[in-house]
Structure formats: structure tokens, C-alpha cells
Structure 1
Amino acid sequence: MSRKNVLAVIPPQVGGREAGSALAGLLADRAHVTVVESAGEDPGALAAAQVIITALSPVGADHLRAAPLLELVQCVGHGHDHVDLAAAERHAVTVCTIASSGAEGNSVAEHAFALILACAKRIVPAHTALAAGDWALPRLRPHLTELAGKTLGVVGLGHIGRDVARKAAAFDMNVLYSSPRRAPRDVEERTGARWTGLEELLRASDVVTLHAPLNDGTRHLLDARRLALLKPTAVVVNTARGPLIDQDALAAALEDGRIAAAGIDVFDPEPPPPGSRLLGAPNVVLTPHAGAVTRETLVRIALAAVENVRRHLDGAEPHDVVAGPGATR
């Protein structure tokens, strides 16, 4: 069997060449692997590539046009918004994620709850004040709350959303979820989640956590109008994709006290520019897209991506096709 050419595109923020070399080693017996930090870095390797593995690095129309031999783009993660799917369709290139692997689910769900708890208990301002010699309890006390008996609204009940819903049961929370289609009955029973419309969810929830994919229909899913539906005591958490929320509208809601707090792990763009309004907003806990980068998760993600590439190299249908031949319509 001839060895195919694989281009592994691993940007510096997710490990760069060092992480790419480790990933390449997993395919060394099956393919010639070139590691780069951006898709256009090595034009010769791009032109020869039959497979591209991308870890959040853009693969646009120009890259696809410059890769006439390309058969597969494998995303190292659940998201695929960094790949031009329309261009992939035009070039008959298959695009896959690792969505069904569950590799990121537990880590992102844990991170979502870390942000929820940090907001509910005002951990960051409490620490900052105390480290500065300020016993801030009298000032913080009116804002501290517990999760038991509260309603958690999960936007998107995929693998990660389901993990979040299951963890909510341990905190004695009620769970609502919104999604374009209702989940199977057994999923609802396992998670204890009740299906409802997005706007009803926003009105009813004490905590809203986003786990939807980014596409044309979900960009700015939470805009100024929908943020205005939230309770003034509500907390918003986003560990999915930054553009799901209109960040200026979120910052304005925080500044005006129209919502209580927000926990944000993803931004638009990434990293956020120094002047981003959200960085200076009150009652916000920010982390640098860290939800899926635990030591354990990175290994699972890499193995899931490599396994899908191996399926393709073996002539089998890869999992989680989102564009091109084999995509579910």
C-alpha cells in the first residue's frame, strides 16, 4: 500500500511543531507527515497533501485550491468553523471532526462547571480582594448564590452538552435544553433534561451554558435582544465558540447590571485584542480557550483524529463527516 502525504497544521497556541511532531509519530508507519504551523507555510507540502490534519488552524478556499490531491481534512476537535466547508464541497474534499469520539466531553463539561461555580461564588473578586488585604465579604455577600434548586439551560445537547447536563444532577439542578431537534428519549432520561425553545430557556434559566456548533445559523445566537430575556441574576457561560455570543452586547449587559456574571473560555477573535470591551467588563471570569486542553484530553483528541485518518488510509468511511463525500444532508 502506497504511503500518502499528510500535512499536520498545528498552530503555536496549541503546541506548534512540538505537538505536531508527536502527532506525526502516530502516523509514521502509514504516511509521510509534514508538520507546519499554518496551512500556507510550505506551499510544496500543501500541493502534495492528500490529507490535512488541522488543530484550529484555518484551512480556507485558497489552501484547498492549492492542494489538488487533497482527499480529507481532519479537524482535531469538535469544531469545524475554521475550515471553508463550501470550498471543500466544491473540491470534493471530505471534512471530518471527532465529535462522536467524546474525547473532549468530560474536560469541557468540567471547565463549564468551574466557570459556573466561579461566577456563583465570586471566586475571582474574592481572591483578588483578599490578596490585596481587603476582607471583601460584606461587599460580596449579597451576590453569592448556590446551584441547588436552580435551573441550568443547556444550549446544544450534543456529547458535551449531555456531559454538562449529567453533572448538573450532582448539584441538584433542574435542566432545560434547546436544540434544533429533540434528543432521543433515552438521552433525556439519562440527562434529566427537558426540551424547550431557546427563548423560553433564556427566560427560565438561572445559568445558561453554550454547547452549540458555530455556523451561519448560530453566529451571535445570543445577541442583545436575546440577552435581554435573561434574569438579572443569570449567569452566562460559553466554552463552545466565541462568535456564538455578541461580545459587545454581553459586555454591555454586564456593565449595566442586566445579568449577574459571565464565564467565558472562547472569544471572537482569539486571542481577544487588548482593547476588547469584554476584558474590562465587571463580574466576568475569563480563561484562554482552556476547556479542552487538559493533559488527558489532548491525548484522547490526538488519538481520535489519528484513528479517523487511519480509517481513511485503509479505505474505510471516516467518522463524523461534516462536508464533502459522505456528509449527512
Structure 2
Amino acid sequence: MSEDRPAARNVLAVIPPHMGGRSTGAGLAGLVPGARVTVVESADEDPAALREARAIITALAPVTAGHIAAAPALELVQCASHGYDYVDLDAARARSVTVCNIGSSGAEAQNVAEQTFALMLALAKQVVPAHTALTEADWALPRIQQSLTELSGKTLGIVGLGSVGREVARRALAFDMRIAYTGRRRAPADTESRLGDARFLPLDELLRVSDYVSLHAPLTPDTRHLLDAGRLALLRPTAFLVNTARGALVDQDALADALTAGTLAGAGIDVFDPEPPTAALRLLKAPNVVLSPHVGGVTRETLVRIALSAVQNVVDHLAGEPPRDVVS
């Protein structure tokens, strides 16, 4: 059978420009032996490659119902991330197309946890306003001194104690923080014990008692705007919110309102809805925020782990092996 036929080992790798585009995906072809790998920056870019693809690897690029309909040979959509909200799962199910993430690989966990603490420390120590003031020859210490705080002794509320959430909790122990968490189910007792006798709380109670809240939940229809205006109002005015998971977990306008009103001490945000954010996003101009452009999970080391994990699942699928981390 010709390699150009739909049943051949054709793989479409979709890497949008804001994730590095074709230059980032240039090395993928050599990781899938015996396959024809086409790297594009959107799934619409090469209709012929989409039509012939048996597998799509997507790095946060949308795979819509239209894309799935236009790919009659498609068997697998492999998300190069923990998240999978950018794939139309209903359309995939209707076509019996398997959708996988890299959830069990832990590829992103280390760096996302580090980015979480980078944001927490920047907020606690007022790093950004202090730096900006000094570049303008302004000795800001008298002005920011009352806003400086410590992590030690504070309660960190973790929303989602998966692989990333557990890495965040481990680091929190090194800062002598107390740990509370919430999620769909309670963690085993030995996990709680290893994490400093972490407390399992309902979400609303966790928001009320936490000094820092860090989001590590997947984005699903049930978790979209999980933190809306009502839930943000449960946070103490001295509390900080950190989101390194998905932008749409938070009502961004409501968060901007809370920061502007001073009912929340600050926020560290690495993820936005949409990405990249538009200039009209009020959160970009809100007070007491530290922002980063979705850098959690994209260090040199992390990208290698992500790529290897995603590609290995595709290689296994093409070889007839059952895929890992099936989400639909």
C-alpha cells in the first residue's frame, strides 16, 4: 500500500506559532520511525495531510469537529499536554477517535510546580513592583514594606491534587506551609501523610481558609469558571490566587474586579482565555498581578519530556499497542 494512502502511517503534528510553530516541531519526524510526519501551525493548513492522517499530535492547537470530519483515516488525537479542552471530545467519540493526553507521564509536573512557586514568591516579596520602581530610580521599600509577607506558616489551598498538585504540595512543605486540597475525590491516607497531613476540604471551605490558592484542575464543562465572582468573594482580602492550569478555570473579569476593588491581595497568572490574550483583557492591567505567558511546562527539559511522551503514545498506537492516558 502506498505511503500516501489514508491507511498509511501518516501523522499530522499541529504546533501553533505561540507554542513555537514549525521550528519547534522540526525534530518530530525522526521520533516516529517509518511514518510520514507533517508539521503544521494549524490543522487547516494542509487539507491533504489532515485527510490522510491516522494520528494527530496537537500542542494546544484546536482540533474541532470540522477537523475530525475532514480526517476520515483519523484514529488517535494525542494532546501534548495534560489539558485536552481544545479537542472536540463529542466529535471524537462520535467517530470512535481515541483522545489521549500525557497525564501519567509527569512530564510537566516539575516545571509547572516551579512556576507556581515563582509566582507565589513574586507576589509575597513584591518582586515586580520593587524591580520596576528601582529601574525608575525609586527606592520603593517604604511604600511596599507593608505588603511584604512570608510563605512560612501560611495555608496553601491546592485545587486538584494530581501529579502537578502533589509536586506543588511537596515544595510547600519545604517552605513550612500548611496544605489543604480539594478535588473530585480524597487522596489516600498515606498521600495525605506524606504531604504534611494535608487536609481534604470542600472547595468553598478551602477558599475561606487559604492564604494562597493554586489551581491545578483540568478544564471541563464542569470546571469552566470554577472560580466565579461568588467564589472569589470567599477568599480573604489578604489571600493570593495562582493559576498555572487553564485560564478559563477563573472568570477573568471577576478576578480583575476583585483585584481592582482590593478584595484580593494579588494574583499570579500563567494561563489565559484565550491564548494569547487580547489587549482588551482587563486582567492585564489589573493591580497586584504577576503575569507570565504560559511558561509553566515549556522549559527545554520539559518540552523534551512532553514530546517524547506524546510521540511514544503515537508510535505505540501505530504499532497496534493500546494507548495510555485515554481521556475519551
TM-score range, shorter chain: over 0.9
Specify the code of the residue in structure 2 equivalent to 1:202.
Answer: L
Q: Is the CA contact 1:96–1:321 (under 8 Å) kept in the aligned structure 2?
A: yes
Q: Is the CA contact 1:8–1:24 (under 8 Å) kept in the aligned structure 2?
A: no
1:326 is matched with which residue? none
- Structure 1 residues 277-288: aligned runs within 5 Å: 277-288=282-293
Specify the code of the residue in structure 2 equivalent to 1:203.
Answer: R
Specify the code of the residue in structure 2 equivalent to 1:296.
Answer: E
Shift of 1:189: 2.2
2:209 to 204, 222, 245: 204
2:169 to 157, 165, 174: 165
Count of aligned positions: 322
Q: Kindly indicate whether residue 125 of structure 2 is the aligned counterpart of residue 121 of structure 1.
A: yes
TM-score, with length taken from structure 2: 0.97
CA deviation vs aligned residue, 1:8-53 (integer Å, no higher than 9, x gap): 11111111111112122211x2311111110111111111110000
TM-score, with length taken from structure 1: 0.96
CA deviation vs aligned residue, 1:100-148 (integer Å, no higher than 9, x gap): 0000000000000000000011000000001101111111011100010
Query: What is the SS of the residue equivalent to 1:321?
Result: coil
Q: Is the CA contact 2:18–2:276 (under 8 Å) kept in the aligned structure 1?
A: no
1:106 is matched with which residue? 110
Identity fraction in percent: 66
* CA–CA distance in structure 2, aligned partners of residues 156 and 197 of structure 1: 12
2:309 is matched with which residue? 304
- Structure 1 residues 27-176: aligned runs within 5 Å: 27=32, 29-176=33-180
Task: Note the aligned Cα RMSD (angstroms).
Answer: 1.1
* CA–CA distance in structure 1, aligned partners of residues 49 and 213 of structure 2: 44
* CA–CA distance in structure 2, aligned partners of residues 194 and 313 of structure 1: 43
2:181 to 173, 177, 185: 177
Q: Is the CA contact 2:109–2:167 (under 8 Å) kept in the aligned structure 1?
A: yes
Shift of 1:269: 1.0
Specify the code of the residue in structure 2 equivalent to 1:48.
Answer: E
* CA–CA distance in structure 2, aligned partners of residues 275 and 9 of structure 1: 27
* CA–CA distance in structure 1, aligned partners of residues 191 and 110 of structure 2: 16
* CA–CA distance in structure 2, aligned partners of residues 125 and 268 of structure 1: 25
Specify the code of the residue in structure 2 equivalent to 1:142.
Answer: Q
* CA–CA distance in structure 1, aligned partners of residues 12 and 222 of structure 2: 31
Q: Is the CA contact 2:216–2:243 (under 8 Å) kept in the aligned structure 1?
A: yes
Query: What is the SS of the residue equivalent to 2:27?
Result: helix
2:267 to 246, 262, 265: 262
Specify the code of the residue in structure 1 equivalent to 2:118.
Answer: A
1:6 to 6, 11, 15: 11
1:244 is matched with which residue? 249
Query: What is the SS of the residue equivalent to 1:285?
Result: strand
1:234 is matched with which residue? 239
Specify the code of the residue in structure 2 equivalent to 1:219.
Answer: R
Query: What is the SS of the residue equivalent to 1:73?
Result: strand
Query: What is the SS of the residue equivalent to 2:213?
Result: strand
Give 4+ residue runs of structure 1 displaced > 3 Å after superposition.
Answer: none
Q: Is the CA contact 1:9–1:54 (under 8 Å) kept in the aligned structure 2?
A: yes
* CA–CA distance in structure 2, aligned partners of residues 258 and 98 of structure 1: 37
* CA–CA distance in structure 2, aligned partners of residues 185 and 98 of structure 1: 26
Query: What is the SS of the residue equivalent to 1:70?
Result: coil
Query: What is the SS of the residue equivalent to 1:187?
Result: helix
Shift of 1:172: 0.1
Q: Kindly indicate whether residue 276 of structure 2 is the aligned counterpart of residue 271 of structure 1.
A: yes
Deviates more, 1:182-191 or 1:71-80: 182-191
Q: Kindly indicate whether residue 299 of structure 2 is the aligned counterpart of residue 294 of structure 1.
A: yes
* CA–CA distance in structure 1, aligned partners of residues 308 and 134 of structure 2: 43
Shift of 1:55: 0.4
Q: Kindly indicate whether residue 325 of structure 2 is the aligned counterpart of residue 320 of structure 1.
A: yes
* CA–CA distance in structure 2, aligned partners of residues 276 and 40 of structure 1: 27
Specify the code of the residue in structure 1 equivalent to 2:266.
Answer: A
> What runs of 5+ residues in structure 2 fail to find an aligned partner?
none
Query: What is the SS of the residue equivalent to 2:327?
Result: strand
Deviates more, 1:282-291 or 1:272-281: 272-281
* CA–CA distance in structure 1, aligned partners of residues 316 and 30 of structure 2: 17
Query: What is the SS of the residue equivalent to 1:22?
Result: coil
> What runs of 5+ residues in structure 1 fail to find an aligned partner?
324-329
* CA–CA distance in structure 1, aligned partners of residues 179 and 321 of structure 2: 39
Q: Is the CA contact 1:214–1:244 (under 8 Å) kept in the aligned structure 2?
A: yes
* CA–CA distance in structure 1, aligned partners of residues 101 and 57 of structure 2: 10
CA deviation vs aligned residue, 1:55-104 (integer Å, no higher than 9, x gap): 00000000000001100000001000010001000000000000100000
